[in-house]
Amino acid sequence: MNTPPIAFVIAGSEATGGAGIQVDLKTFQQLGVYGVGALSCIVAFDPNNSWGHRFHPVDPDIIAEQFEAALATHSVESMDTAKVGMLGTPQTIDTVAEKLADRSWRNLVVDPVLICKGQEPGAALDTDNALREKILPLATVVTPNVFESQTLSGMESIETVEDLEEAAKRIGEHVPYVLAKGGVELPGDDAVDVLWDGEKITRFSAPKIGEQRVSGAGCTVAAALTAELAKGTDIVEAVQRAKDLVTRGIEHRVTANTPFDTVWQGA
């Protein structure tokens, strides 16, 4: 018998390698976790149009088939941890919510990727609402960035770490653990992320590495957290390891022709 820790991810493909399921599976591997994955959508940036998102949903029947294959292959005992990345449309969210309910997940990490730049604002609003109503109630951990924290908490603005903590608490009325990520978005010398566990806040801080956002940092943090939880690491230690890993990955980031550098999952 050879059963390493296993984690399942449902996420989009981002062909350049800087985000989405490409990042999730690389991060799982980096942490010694066997990755199992289903595609929710395909994003192909357009190099001839400012790298704009070209977004293609995967047919709901094909999403359902992928769940069927993955869940039949790995038992509940060996695969009880999953990550949800970008879903993209209300129909996809309906299917994923339904299929996730086929298994009882010990850890379900939801990275609430809200808007894809290629989408119409109206469509994105539908998607936000569907994610909030159908996916968040299933989550054990949610990992919003500043923008997502503001949207999910309904706060007017988030300008300080204290605001971010307030947002985490508000989102935490619906989810057991909230990891709200300040990253380089908030002022100060440090990138501060906060974990709300329903009772208290724990702060995770590391010196900022430049002021530029790096593509794939959010996916990497959520995937690393998922991998650590799959291994049985407790949540505070899992967040710390995820933060350390993304910090190293940003220090050793990969430069490319795209506007943003990306995280290196080999650092």
Contacts of 263 (CB under 8 A, 6+ apart): 18, 23, 214, 215, 216, 217, 220, 246, 249, 250, 253, 254
Residue range at the interface with ligand PXL (CB under 6 A); choices 13-21, 154-162, 185-193, 225-233: 13-21
Min. distance of Cβ 200 from ligand PXL in angstroms? 29
Binding residue (CB under 6 A) for ligand PXL from 37, 112, 218, 249: 218
Q: Which two tokens stand for residue 4?
A: 């390493």
Binding residue (CB under 6 A) for ligand PXL from 9, 71, 86, 223: 86
Contact 67, 102 (CB under 8 A): yes
Interaction pattern, residues 240-259, with ligand PXL; x per rule: CB under 6 A: --------------------
Residues 47, 42: Cα–Cα separation, whole Å: 16
Indicate whether 60 belongs to the interface with ligand PXL (CB under 6 A): no
> Which of 207, 187, 227, 209 minimizes the C-alpha distance to 263?
209
Query: Closer to ligand PXL at the Cβ: 43 or 179?
Result: 43
Binding residue (CB under 6 A) for ligand PXL from 10, 19, 164, 246: 19
> Reduced to 3 states, what is the DSSP secondary structure of residue 114?
coil
Min. distance of Cβ 22 from ligand PXL in angstroms? 8
CA 86, distance to chain mean position in Å, is: 8
The strand ranges marked E within 162-252 are: 177-181, 190-196, 201-207
Binding residue (CB under 6 A) for ligand PXL from 33, 158, 194, 219: 219
Min. distance of Cβ 1 from ligand PXL in angstroms? 34
Indicate whether 85 belongs to the interface with ligand PXL (CB under 6 A): yes
Min. distance of Cβ 43 from ligand PXL in angstroms? 4
Indicate whether 192 belongs to the interface with ligand PXL (CB under 6 A): no
Helix axes 121-130, 90-100, angle to 10 degrees: 20
Contacts of 80 (CB under 8 A, 6+ apart): 103, 104, 105, 106, 107, 230
Residues near ligand PXL, by CB under 6 A: 11-12, 14, 19-20, 43, 85-86, 113, 218-219
